[in-house]
Amino acid sequence: MRMRPTLSWTPTEDLAPGTTDPEPVADALRRGDVLVLSGAGISTESGIPDYRGEGGSLSRHTPMTYQDFIAGTQARRRYWARSHLGWRTFGRARPNAGHRAVAAFGRQGLLSGVITQNVDGLHHAAGSQGVVELHGSLERVVCLSCGAFSPRREVATRLEEANAGFAPVAAAINPDGDADLTDEQVGDFRVVPCTVCGGILKPDVVFFGEAVPPQRVERCRELVRGAASLLVLGSSLTVMSGLRFVRQASQDGIPVFIVNLDPTRGDRYAVTRVALPLGTALTTVADGLGLRVDDDTAGPG
């Protein structure tokens, strides 16, 4: 049975309204040792839609679940056709002002680390170092049989060769790199196997219904324990994947700051929520700290 990801969160209590003053975030950064936790909202200004914001992809699109992916060849054919087409657009995305500001904070020594829930690689592309990709990265492909890794661009080339002329027009591109295609558009798309053992290939990302590797979760928990404050950027915190770190910080007495246009499930734990677009808010903060947000960063890959 196809599992439907959590679409939304409805507050059960009165939450303080967001502010348009980013100065509390600047103050936290001045003190240093800030841990960033970013979500899909930081990448929307790069042309990648989010899941749950206005016009979010979950209102029209159910991402592939791990259970469906491993269950049958037709599901994998549908996934790889849609993902391959989406990669052509997704792989061209470039870091925006929000990503560049985070990288600038890191270069200045203001951050203790960066955790991202995104799989787009844009924090790396912007120059951030030591990023923990909580849900993996579309830049890598893993064999489910032998565990061998391959660069996504290498697999994309093999898929191009196996599916000459495959160029349907997608209705939309989604945050997980998937493209909206009909079954007719998918057709008889050919999936390529692992070159090492002939096994099933899967992007090295955590699908819905799949657990984040425990060692990765523990690494994130260590980062939270060592931070002076936690800065959440562009995440609704609807699912436990990110919310657990906000709860941990709150329980440990570590102040939480959120920059997100809409209310989040973590607002009750936060000192404040800045209700501004990420690029605007973080560029303003960077300017106030005397930092340059470069605009010539190379893209992923």
Using one digit for the tens of pLDDT, what is the confidence trace for 187-242? 889 999 999 999 999 999 998 888 999 999 999 999 999 999 999 999 999 988 89
Return the beta strands (E) in 234-276 as ranges.
256-259, 272-274
What is the CB-side half-sphere exposure of residue 102 using CA atoms within 13 A?
34
For residue 210, what is the domain's CATH number? 3.40.50.1220
- Tell me whether residue 124 is one of the annotated catalytic residues: no
pLDDT above 70 as % of the chain: 85
Residue 182 lies in a domain: yes
Consult the annotation and say whether 46 binds a ligand. Answer: yes
Instruction: Please tell me the least confidently modeled range out of 74-83, 197-206, 248-257.
Output: 74-83
Consult the annotation and say whether 39 binds a ligand. Answer: yes
Consult the annotation and say whether 37 binds a ligand. Answer: no
Residue 2 lies in a domain: no
Q: What is the dihedral of CA 151, 194, 214, 271, to 10 degrees?
A: 40
pLDDT of residue 177: 64
pLDDT of residue 176: 64
As for how many domains the chain has, the answer is 1
Consult the annotation and say whether 146 binds a ligand. Answer: yes
Residue 8 lies in a domain: no
- Which residue of the set 61, 99, 124, 135 is catalytic? 135
pLDDT of residue 51: 54
Residue 46 lies in a domain: yes
Place of tokens 């799949």: 210
Q: Is 70 exposed, middle or buried (0-12, 13-18, 19+ CB in 10 A)?
A: middle
Confidence grade of residue 171 (pLDDT, cut at 50, 70, 90) = low
Q: Is 283 exposed, middle or buried (0-12, 13-18, 19+ CB in 10 A)?
A: buried
Q: Is the pLDDT assigned to residue 55 strictly greater than 60?
A: no
Residue 40 lies in a domain: yes
pTM higher than the cut 0.95: no
Compute the distance between CA of residue 276 and CA of residue 101 in angstroms, rounded to an integer: 15
